[in-house]
Chain A
Amino acid sequence: MKKLFAFFALAVVSLIWTQSAHSFKLDDFLESMAKPPPPQSQPTKKPAPQQEATQQPAQKGGGGLIGLGESLGIFDKKTSRILQKSVGALQAFQPIGLEEEKAIGGSLALEVFHRFGGMYKNAALQNYVNLVGQSVAEVSDRPEIDYHFAVLNTDNPNAFATPGGYVFVSVGLLRMLQNEAQLAGVLGHEIAHITHKHALKTLQRSKVLSGLSGLTLAAMDEDEGLFDQVINEVSDILFTRGLDKDLEFEADKLGMEYAYRMGYHPAGLKDFIKILGQASSRGSSIFLSTHPGPGARFQALGRFLPRYKAVGLFPTLARRYQSTVKGQL
């Protein structure tokens, strides 16, 4: 019986490994293993109906191959339960769902408007920034969610992204840019923070969520203090401490990549960082405290740029930018 089981297991493992190879990414698996689930001192509250998982119908002995093994009598119930628990432990640390992400991001969007002058009231400018932003988002690594773009009514040059697809650039920053490729690079950088869930990943590692196995709208709705803590923590990350420098460098690279995919000259973001560096040396007040220094960013982007070949004819669209933006400011 043991030999029959071993033979069956070898056959199944080899079939799964080869057939699933294209959908199983070792990087994803290692990443999920790198962060062990926090201790489950508080069980996750019942999820809201919209996010109910699509699960396979219950089979005798549970789902999947382990359940099949029990049904066929290869595993006894005790062994099957142990194996299911082991797999369950690996899957236990659930990423924050889209509905929760949008709730967090929407609250932070309110904070952004509240802290940085509100929305700049110019329909033509809002429309233009949305056109560039939506185009870049379409070729990003997460085009399927809704992205929203707005111009902030402040002379302080700044740009923000909050989870769930909210992206902001200030009038002050738009005044510094020289062409549309630079705007695409800046928006690409912000979009990258959303596509790669930088703020959420930082939140998941924070003490605010320690002791929880997941974060649901139902749990936050029941416990207002929890939602307040979450928003305060992410506000602190975005507006005071800043994200880890590695995440900012990653967003720079991705911003350059996304702009390139859309067909803009990929040096746009690098050129803007240079302008930023020159402005800071003249003593202008900018968002340096939340990002790596412009020098380091410029050098990093300079090392990354040569990978883009034959981009000499890629447009920067300076004329379109100047005629659209400068006329509105």
Chain B
Amino acid sequence: MMTPKNNLFSGSTMLLAFVIFLLTGLSFASDSFAATLYVKKSGTKLQALDSARSKVIARLSRGTPVSVIKKSKRFYQVSTPGGNKGWIFKFKLTSRAPANSSGGGGILGALGGRQKIAARESSSGSSIRGLSPISEKHAKNKGISEEDIQAVKQMEAFHINPLDVEKFLKEGRLGEYGQ
């Protein structure tokens, strides 16, 4: 006959089980909690050294979790899930898992199984181009001139060559080329 002391689901047993689960979870979480950061934008360079002029080992996608190994002035040495190790300009990383990355969801997502909010920011911008039809229609209804409509389109179409950006940063000692 089971006595309260021998009952597998007695209060003290359940409390002990809770503590064991908690400590187990903390031991997994503690390794990642302090040292995991996320890549903010796709195409971010992983470089061989903590220098903008060093070789590019890989380009990382937005949301890639990286483990920080070491810090220098403006670069972090990290390891990636793919097994690469290198340096990233630290302001290209964030402590928040970007929406629709592998780290997203939270407790509500886990409970309800929905990721609708995360998916709404999923575009990198490349799939949504140009003045939207509804904006153009609204503009024409309001009598906004064709010149102004073309100005917005020109603004959206303007692109800077990445090599020009690199040259701009290098000459100004900015970004990865900074102090």
Q: Give the interface of A toward B (CB within 8 A).
A: 3-4, 6-7, 10-11, 14-25, 28-29, 50-56, 59, 62-67, 83-84, 87-88, 90-91, 94-95, 97-99, 102-103, 106-107, 109-111, 113-114, 118-119, 126-127, 130-131, 134-135, 138-139, 141, 143-146, 148-150, 165-166, 180, 217, 220-221, 224, 227-228, 231, 261-264, 313-315, 317, 320
Complex contacts, A59 vs chain B, CB 8 Å: 113
Structural contact, A90 and B132, CB atoms closer than 8 A = no
Closest to B101 in A: A23
Closest to A218 in B: B134
Complex contacts, A118 vs chain B, CB 8 Å: 147-148, 151
Complex contacts, A166 vs chain B, CB 8 Å: 152, 155
Structural contact, A7 and B17, CB atoms closer than 8 A = yes
Structural contact, A64 and B110, CB atoms closer than 8 A = yes
Structural contact, A109 and B179, CB atoms closer than 8 A = no
Residue B80 at the A interface, CB < 8 A? no
Best-surrounded residue of B18, B137, B138 (most CB of chain A within 10 A): B138
Complex contacts, B40 vs chain A, CB 8 Å: 141, 143-144
Given contacts A102-B132, A217-B132, contact A150 B151 (CB under 8 A): yes
Given contacts A110-B149, A135-B165, A227-B138, contact A66 B113 (CB under 8 A): yes
Complex contacts, A3 vs chain B, CB 8 Å: 9, 14
* Interchain CA distance A59-B127 in the complex, whole Å: 31
Structural contact, A90 and B108, CB atoms closer than 8 A = yes
Structural contact, B174 and A11, CB atoms closer than 8 A = no
Q: A110-B152, A139-B92 are in contact. List 12 more A-B contacts (CB 8 A).
A: A7-B9, A14-B18, A14-B25, A22-B33, A24-B106, A52-B119, A62-B113, A107-B139, A109-B152, A113-B152, A224-B137, A263-B175
Residue B79 at the A interface, CB < 8 A? no
6 contacts between A and B (CB under 8 A): A14-B18, A51-B119, A65-B111, A99-B123, A118-B148, A263-B173
Structural contact, B25 and A17, CB atoms closer than 8 A = yes
- In the complex, how many residue pairs between chain A and chain B have their CB atoms under 8 Å apart? 249
Residue B85 at the A interface, CB < 8 A? no
Structural contact, B22 and A14, CB atoms closer than 8 A = yes
Structural contact, A144 and B18, CB atoms closer than 8 A = no
* Interchain CA distance A55-B151 in the complex, whole Å: 38
Return B33 CB to nearest CB of chain A, in Å: 5
* Interchain CA distance A50-B42 in the complex, whole Å: 20
Structural contact, A23 and B14, CB atoms closer than 8 A = no
Given contacts A99-B123, A130-B160, A138-B41, contact A56 B113 (CB under 8 A): yes
Given contacts A21-B33, A94-B116, A135-B168, contact A107 B135 (CB under 8 A): yes
* Interchain CA distance A224-B91 in the complex, whole Å: 41
Complex contacts, B179 vs chain A, CB 8 Å: 263, 313-314
| Main DSSP-derived SS at the A contact region | helix
Select one of B113, B119, B126, B144 contacting A63, CB under 8 A.
B113
Residue B84 at the A interface, CB < 8 A? no
Structural contact, A22 and B29, CB atoms closer than 8 A = yes
Residue B51 at the A interface, CB < 8 A? no
Complex contacts, B124 vs chain A, CB 8 Å: 144-145
Complex contacts, B158 vs chain A, CB 8 Å: 126, 130, 148-149
Given contacts A10-B18, A263-B178, contact A54 B119 (CB under 8 A): yes
* Interchain CA distance A276-B178 in the complex, whole Å: 29
Complex contacts, A87 vs chain B, CB 8 Å: 108, 111-112, 114
* Interchain CA distance A165-B109 in the complex, whole Å: 28
* Interchain CA distance A317-B119 in the complex, whole Å: 40
Complex contacts, B107 vs chain A, CB 8 Å: 16-17, 20, 24, 29
* Interchain CA distance A320-B171 in the complex, whole Å: 10
Structural contact, B128 and A102, CB atoms closer than 8 A = yes
Return A98 CB to nearest CB of chain B, in Å: 5
Given contacts A66-B113, A148-B155, A261-B91, contact A18 B28 (CB under 8 A): yes
Residue B78 at the A interface, CB < 8 A? no
Structural contact, A110 and B139, CB atoms closer than 8 A = yes
Structural contact, A262 and B175, CB atoms closer than 8 A = yes
Residue B36 at the A interface, CB < 8 A? yes
Complex contacts, B9 vs chain A, CB 8 Å: 3-4, 7
Select one of A25, A148, A317 contacting B172, CB under 8 A.
A317
Which chain B residues (80-96) contact chain A, with CB distance < 8 Å? Answer: 91-92, 94, 96
Contact with A along B16-49 (1 / 0, CB 8 A): 0110011011101100110010001110000000
